[in-house]
Structure 1
Amino acid sequence: MNSFTLNLPDPLGSANKETASVIAAYNTTDNTHTDPWFESLLFDYSRYLFVSSSRENSLPPNLQGKWAYGLYNAWGADYHANINIQMNQWGAVQTGLGDLQSALWTYMSETWAPRGAETAKLLYNAPGWVVHDEINIFGHTGMKTGDEYWADYPAAASWLMQHVADYYDYSRDKNWLKETGYPLLKAVSEFWLSQLQKDEYFNDGKLVVNPCSSPEHGPTTFGCTHYQQLIYSLFTTTLQAARTLSLDSTLQQSLTTSLSSLDKGLHISPTTQIQEWKIYFPTYENTTHRHLSNLIGWFPSSSLSSYLSGYTNSTISTAVRNTLISRGPEIIDSNAGWEKVWRSACWARLNDTETAYAELRLTIQENIAANALSMYSGKKEPFQIDANFGYGGAVLSMLVVDLPVGVEGVEGVRTVVLGPAIPGVWGKGSMKGLRIRGGGVLDFEWDGEGIVTSATWKTKGVDSVRILNIEGKVLG
């Protein structure tokens, strides 16, 4: 825990107040209440909960972390894999808790991969392995009985491979990559290499997933944006890993060939939004749906924001912004906390401090109970831990933009932006022990306006990195 610290001011003297009363102060109707000290405490709580629920030789945290109430819990206290188990990992590796992710690696390697290989063969006649949306500790990896738009979700493992790739990118532990990470990446990539089909509807020569459903939303069709963006990231990181380890030249060629013709999941609609499906379905476009499935490549993945240069491309960033505006702040659909922190992180990657911070505070106001645990629908039961973990990821998104480089990326110096969305009320704060891709560790601090003024390397990583603040000033 002590290898990383976030220091924010305490203008209200909240450190000397009961936590429940501090939280209650957010329950106002004007939506203007701020408390930087508590907001940093909730960030620390996110890390504390992860330390307490993810250890070597244990199961990874589930929908309730590990704090299930009694014998019967919402959704069986299982692993939902179309946002929830992934969000549980958001704040770990950047804050020095990456080693505690071993619970997830073991679970995937020893349970999901072997049972998922059976499911891949049985349901898809495919190599590799696959899991779907609702998974349990006993190795259930197939579809559950239910509507196809949530039950038929074979993209779960592709999303989870982002965390495998990120762990290596931050740690640069080649032994771990060879023994643990790469076998997972390789097998999931082999599954999807066998499943892609040429698009015969648009007849554009692109490879697409067919059929697919965007998580919990809309029709069953082909070329779902969510799938295409995830597979783009999966193939990219698997190819990078194979090159790093000098393994599987035939697989490298297959991935390279598929990437050249893969539909990357970037189609901008007539209303200048990121389309959720390759076919334009205007009926579903302007809905306040809880999932941001068509923005998976913006955050938490990077196919839009990095591989397609979206962070510096105004056409893409404008379409992302319009999509977020259309989806709304998320109190209309299910009013869950995880929806709001995801939106906060996306707005932060747009360098939109005001909206990112508003979503963060809205999460506290609407979903954080008196004991600081997140509730699913407003303040109502059940308790669901993902927003606690996702809160940490959203705060990190406000503090740093540290994007990976794709296989098509230019060799040389990589840029990291510090303080893309630090609100002024967090002024004169600091962060110590931030992990940077390439194995580096940074300390930095910012002024009263939220502009980072200095940064110091505690550990210099293996990458050549240029450190900038949001105004473009070179800090290191």
Structure 2
Amino acid sequence: MLKSLPLLFFLLFFSLNAVSQNAKNNRIYEVWDSQPAPNRGKDYSVTVARGFPFDRDWETYSYPIGNGYMGANIFGRTDTERIQITEKTLTNGAPYGTGGMTNFAEIFLQFNHYNISNYKRSINLNDGTAYVSYDHKDVTYTREYFASYPDNIIAIRLSANKSSKISLTVRAEIPYLRGKDELNNSRGTITKIAKSGKINTSENQITLSGSIPSFSLNYEGQIKIINDGGQLLSNSENGTKDISIVDANTVTILIATSTNYKLNKNIFLQDSTQLKLDPKVFPHDKVSKIIKEASSKTYQELKETHLKDYQNLFSRVQLKLTKNQSTETTSSLVENYKDNATNPYLEELMFHFGRYLLIASSRKGTLPCGLQGTWSQYHVTPWSGGYWHNINIQMNYWGAFNANLAETFLPYEQYFEAYLPKAFENGSTYIKTYYPEKFNENPHKNGWCIGTGANAYSIGVPGGHSGPGTGGFTTKLFWDRFEYTQDTTYLKNIAYPALLGMSTFLSKTLEPKQEGILLVDRSFSPEQIHNGKYYETKGSTFDQGFVWETYNDLLKSAKILDLNTTFLNRVKKQIKKLDPILIGESGQIKEFREEKTYGEIGDPKHRHISHLCTIFPGTLINSNHPDWMKAASTVLNYRGNETTGWAMAHRMNIYARTKEAEKAHDVYSKFLRERTNPNLWTKHPPFQIDGNLGTMAGVAEMLIQSHEGLIELLPALPKAWKNGSFKGLMARGNFEIDLKWTNGEVTYTSVLSKIGGTCRVKYKNINRVKIKDKSGKIVPIKQLSDDVISFNTKALSKYIINF
């Protein structure tokens, strides 16, 4: 039984909420409001992005917490609190019949508190905890909510400043138990979803369990109620199954969930949906163990474990874009920003909120962060909440590396290792179908591939609207992780084999054309439509560019690992024949080789700017090719910023790479004005987490870049960020950077070299600086130009650059 800490907890609440336990970060970030979130319910008449029913209050006002396994949305109400639970492996047939996230449970805490005062609800980003506090009838009530990754539970703590004042009723619902719902999917066929479930109550526990036949999926959730003082009353009469708490001092509620889903290669290799999971496996024992172990700890022990784990990640980075920390509610900040056009504090807060969401959505041993992170109130989640590989899943992880959260990429690596055998199978099928003369009976000789759509149960193949370059877009993440961490074991065991397999596949898609050029045959620029259908071509810039990126990363990997093979020699020859970047008559990077003037093929204002992916996240277009950089900027100007949320985020990152600071800031500002909800969730629309995470990466990219073999300081600093500082942002080479600037000029920089090696730094007139090590000794530097220097570093040593 969980041990109780009586009213001492109430005093601890305020100190923990006001002062983070992390001494390194001296600014507390809160997403907060002075009113509860409204809860007007779901609207079954509204379908958004093939998902339904829509719940505007959930999307716009509720506050999310999560631990990678599951998430909760908190409304902070004082009449009846709503806590909506998502478990990432709970899936149904989705709009495509291939599986998608769905709502796990709705939990309600009925307080019947009206006529309240001094109300506040918040998420403290520094400690990953949500809070509610208010006064009612001369009593101050407080609540804490957090999702612990180490203990895999959601914990809720209810307390008051007077004893015997906690009274409420706890009930739970399994949503969408409505028999069989028929859904029209994208192929015009019918997917039937029949969800069964039951709720049982005992003296102090509510158990929800059931099955979804789409994938033979079994699920269970347990809600454990632990009271200090007072009485517990279980009610199972007249179909009502709830537990009432009367006159307690404090109440702790623990929530654990699970399913019989287990990530492994057989899930992807098995074609039958009914055989992907074992219907005889139930998660009861697993959930019971989680609850039992969590209950054996005090609430404070649970929270301390959560704080230690969470703050280890969140506290690594500090960023300040203004001296002034706003005292406005977050909803007011967002609303007022629409008129003021800029507010450095909101722009700063949004960056930190992105890091919070990534930590809450993607942890080792969990499924990756999908379109909606780890949150869905839907029966059918928009776009299935899946992993879309023509930009969205990549965008989710762009900021994992430069924002010092590399561990959050581990779920995608684990997912990749599970789907890889199927990807090799798909690669063989693809080559046999479209290039039969190149087919090899050995799947590894054909390479692996992946298309746009993917989820916890299946992966796609190139075609339809996105070509083979989709796989290269994906392997870029693996190379980036190596470049930032310099982990050669990872390079040897994961990144290099991934690059080799993808290069093998891409090499077979290349066909010789005029003047010795090799072009990807059957090529697309993702989702671009011309004359009413997806435009198929040969050698689109997107596909050609990612063949180049993949080949280039493979060759760099092979050099590091000291490898030399016949295939690598072939790649060395082929990479010179790709001719990936062409400039058209309008001064634009061509999207298609046959394009002459901008926009003559496809939608000139399309949300995707796939032909610019080789400037970001790729590296082919860089400052060594100023004509290409100028042409990329021309495309951005033509394309415009009237687009979806995630597409604004991509434009922001590319403007950072073209060093157009004001344009990068302008699109970020537009994103905050038009695509940001009062709870800081961002929308496509509807809500998609890629906008949050893509702009988080963009802020870091404006402040530090390292893709050209050196660390460039403040490459795209806008006028709105006149003074500021950051600590802990990462550069390739495994260098951690701290920096301060005043009036737009760098005044202080330190470099922490994690593994040693040569460090190259770029900033105007940097050849005048002096560098000292931690002992104050002058470090020799090599002047490569007026703006570039290099110096040797030792592992785990810090170097101060004195301007």
Fold shared per TM-score above 0.5? yes
Contact 1:267 1:275 in 2 (8 A): yes
Q: 1:25 aligns with which of 336, 345, 351?
A: 336
The Cα offsets for residues 49-100 of structure 1, whole Å up to 9 and x where unpaired, read as 1111111111110110111223311111111111100000011111221122
- Secondary structure at the aligned position of 1:121 is classed as helix
Letter matched to residue 728 of structure 2: G
2:712 aligns with 417
Compute the displacement of 1:246 (Å).
2.4
Compute the displacement of 1:278 (Å).
1.3
- Gap regions ≥5 residues in structure 2: 1-313, 433-438, 440-445, 530-534, 770-800
Matches within 5 A, 1:384-463: 384-404=688-708, 414-448=709-743, 450-459=744-753, 462-463=756-757
Compute the displacement of 1:149 (Å).
5.2
Letter matched to residue 411 of structure 2: A
Contact 1:430 1:446 in 2 (8 A): yes
1:5 aligns with 318
**Residue 204 (str. 1) matches residue 499 (str. 2):** no
Q: Structure 1 residues 142 and 294 mapped into 2: Cα distance closer, same or farther (>3 Å)?
A: closer
The Cα offsets for residues 340-384 of structure 1, whole Å up to 9 and x where unpaired, read as 11111111222211111000010010100011001113xxxx211
- Gap regions ≥5 residues in structure 1: 306-310, 405-413
Contact 1:90 1:390 in 2 (8 A): yes
Q: 1:106 aligns with which of 414, 417, 421?
A: 414
2:572 aligns with 256
TM-score, normalised by the number of residues in structure 1: 0.88
1:221 aligns with 537
Contact 1:441 1:461 in 2 (8 A): no
The Cα offsets for residues 216-249 of structure 1, whole Å up to 9 and x where unpaired, read as 1142110100111111110011111122122352
Letter matched to residue 186 of structure 1: L
Q: Which has the higher helix share?
A: 1
Letter matched to residue 595 of structure 2: Y
- Secondary structure at the aligned position of 1:72 is classed as coil
Measure, in 1, the Cα distance between the counterparts of 2:331 and 2:702. 26
**Residue 324 (str. 1) matches residue 324 (str. 2):** no
Q: 1:132 aligns with which of 440, 446, 451?
A: 451
Matches within 5 A, 1:297-312: 297-305=614-622, 311-312=623-624
The Cα offsets for residues 298-331 of structure 1, whole Å up to 9 and x where unpaired, read as 11111112xxxxx1433222211111111012x2
Matches within 5 A, 1:71-470: 71-111=379-419, 113-125=420-432, 127-142=446-461, 150=465, 152-199=466-513, 203-218=514-529, 219-263=535-579, 265-282=580-597, 283-284=600-601, 287-305=604-622, 311-329=623-641, 331=642, 335-377=643-685, 382-404=686-708, 414-448=709-743, 450-459=744-753, 462-469=756-763
Contact 2:585 2:596 in 1 (8 A): no
Measure, in 2, the Cα distance between the counterparts of 1:196 and 1:452. 47
- CA RMSD, 1 decimal: 1.9
Contact 1:467 1:474 in 2 (8 A): no
Letter matched to residue 211 of structure 1: R
Structure with the greater alpha carbon radius of gyration? 2
Compute the displacement of 1:433 (Å).
1.1
Contact 2:704 2:714 in 1 (8 A): yes
Contact 2:321 2:723 in 1 (8 A): yes
- Secondary structure at the aligned position of 1:110 is classed as helix
Letter matched to residue 723 of structure 2: K
Contact 1:420 1:470 in 2 (8 A): no
Contact 1:357 1:423 in 2 (8 A): yes
Compute the displacement of 1:472 (Å).
6.0
Q: Which has the higher strand share?
A: 2
Letter matched to residue 289 of structure 1: H
- Secondary structure at the aligned position of 1:271 is classed as coil
Task: State the number of aligned residues.
Answer: 438
Q: Structure 1 residues 291 and 247 mapped into 2: Cα distance closer, same or farther (>3 Å)?
A: same
Compute the displacement of 1:465 (Å).
2.8
Contact 1:374 1:388 in 2 (8 A): yes
Matches within 5 A, 1:59-70: 59-70=367-378
- Structure 1 ranges of 4+ moved more than 3 A: 460-463, 470-476
Contact 2:706 2:732 in 1 (8 A): yes
Answer with 40-49 or 211-220: which moved more.
Answer: 211-220
Compute the displacement of 1:471 (Å).
6.5
Measure, in 2, the Cα distance between the counterparts of 1:416 and 1:426. 20
Letter matched to residue 760 of structure 2: R
